[in-house]
Amino acid sequence: MALLKCADKTLDLSRTQVMGVLNLTPDSFSDGGSLYAGQSVNLDKLLCSAEQMVNDGAAILDLGGESTRPDAQPVSVEQEMHRVLPALECLHDRLDVVLSVDTSSAVLMKEAAGLGAGLINDVRALESEGALDAAAATGLPVCLMHMQGSPLTMQLAPKYDNVRQEVAAYLQLRAQQCQLKGMAAEQIILDPGFGFGKTLQQNLSLLAAIKELSSLGYPLLIGTSRKSMYGQLLGRDVSDRLAGSLASVAYAAMHGAAIVRVHDVKESVDTVKVIAAIKGQDNE
């Protein structure tokens, strides 16, 4: 059994777990700031959405205060903390679920750990100033994601000689850097970074390589929910990408993904359960 220690909670990663996305930004590509009221997150709306995700089967909730959609403008650390910390405190006091903080900020990592965060999820793989030391100091598990460029530039002209090999090499190097800082290998998760500096074909190539990426020896987080790849592949608007998202959730779960990061929790949990049942039959 592969166990991930997340502060005072433990996740069993021998089966695929579902992470629900809670965007604490007014400019999210997927929900357009639906949790906002004026200049701040509406904590009542947040709690309602979070409770629904937990009731639908989410094992992790991922809180993000900085939009990382293509062309997204950076926000100050103060603004990011203003969005995330009250939300984290609100949910930690009320819900029995692992709370993940989606951030690259060293300061926010430390503050979040003190308020009960159980996982650090960083799209910049702890490359920002002070992030690697800060994450190591928290003792929390980390998710390291691959991104080519930055949110402002990543989709301008993504280029790889071999996307599978280059993403794998980068993630393996970042995992090694974490271990040199004293992090345990079993506390490191890898994310190929779908849509973060990748074309449609590069995304599909990475998705097809899940089993290959798993051979690096770390649990994989797969985040393909509502991505623009479905707009390109299927001609669907962001509000009409559930079928495409669930197809990739099913493929990821079938091929060993430890965590799937999704917006549509109920449907994704059902999909993962069906795949688990099929795999169980295969083992009989």
Q: Which residues are catalytic?
A: 227, 261
Only one residue has tokens 């030391």, namely: 133
Identify any residues that bridge with 222 across adjacent strands, giving them in sequence order. 260
Are 195 and 169 a contacting pair, CB within 8 Å?
Answer: no
The residue behind tokens 């089993």 is 211
Q: Which two tokens stand for residue 4?
A: 């991930």
Cα dihedral sign, 31-222-95-56: positive
Sign of CA dihedral 28, 10, 247, 203: positive
Q: Which residue has the tokens 């999820």?
A: 121
